[in-house]
């Protein structure tokens, strides 16, 4: 059971918008800790997608955006493309367990 909760799967047709949620609690996201998002394409290493809740590294399309509110965060992908089919993970910091870095369980995005 992950400290951060994500839906196991989401799907959308090309061109649509999808949202992936990441729900935490008072010892992690709710304490003000930043949320980061990673994309893992099939058979590849994870790659940083969003950092500090809503910042995109150089090279990441502006179709990807992040937000945070209270004890939750969201990743939004607009103009869905076939190449976006991947697993997405949120990550934050948790103070209830000796300052761990924690991941969400991951969300599989399927482009229909």
Partner 1 sequence: EVQLVQSGAEVKKPGESLRISCKGSGYTFTDYCITWVRQMPGKGLEWMATIDPSDSYTSYSPSFRGHVTISTDWSISTAYLQWSSLKASDTAIYYCARHKITGNSHFDPWGQGTLVTASS
CB atoms inside a 10 Å sphere around CB 20: 23
Nearer to partner 1 among residue 58 and residue 69 (C-beta): 58
The answer to the question of residue 30 lying near partner 1 (CB under 8 A) is: no
The answer to the question of residue 104 lying near partner 1 (CB under 8 A) is: yes
Nearer to partner 1 among residue 69 and residue 98 (C-beta): 98
- CA distances 44 to 10, 41, 47, Å, are 20, 5, 9
Stretch that binds partner 1, among 18-26, 45-53, 59-67, 72-80 (CB under 8 A): 45-53
- CA distances 11 to 21, 55, 58, 102, Å, are 13, 24, 26, 25
* Contacts with partner 1, 50-69, as mask; x by CB under 8 A: -xx----x------------
Nearer to partner 1 among residue 55 and residue 81 (C-beta): 55
The answer to the question of residue 89 lying near partner 1 (CB under 8 A) is: yes
In terms of Cα–Cα distance, which of 69, 30, 31 is closest to 53? Answer: 69
């Amino acid at each position: 059971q992950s400290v951060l909760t994500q839906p196991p799967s989401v799907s959308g047709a090309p061109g649509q918008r999808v949202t992936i949620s990441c729900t935490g609690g008072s010892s992690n996201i709710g304490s003000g800790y930043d949320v980061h998002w990673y994309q893992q394409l099939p058979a590849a290493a994870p790659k940083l997608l969003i950092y500090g809740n809503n910042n995109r590294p150089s090279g990441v399309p502006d179709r990807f955006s992040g937000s945070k509110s209270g004890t939750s965060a969201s990743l939004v992908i607009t103009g869905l493309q076939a190449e976006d089919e991947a697993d997405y993970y949120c990550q934050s910091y948790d103070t209830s367990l000796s300052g761990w870095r924690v991941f969400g369980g991951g969300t599989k995005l399927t482009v229909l």
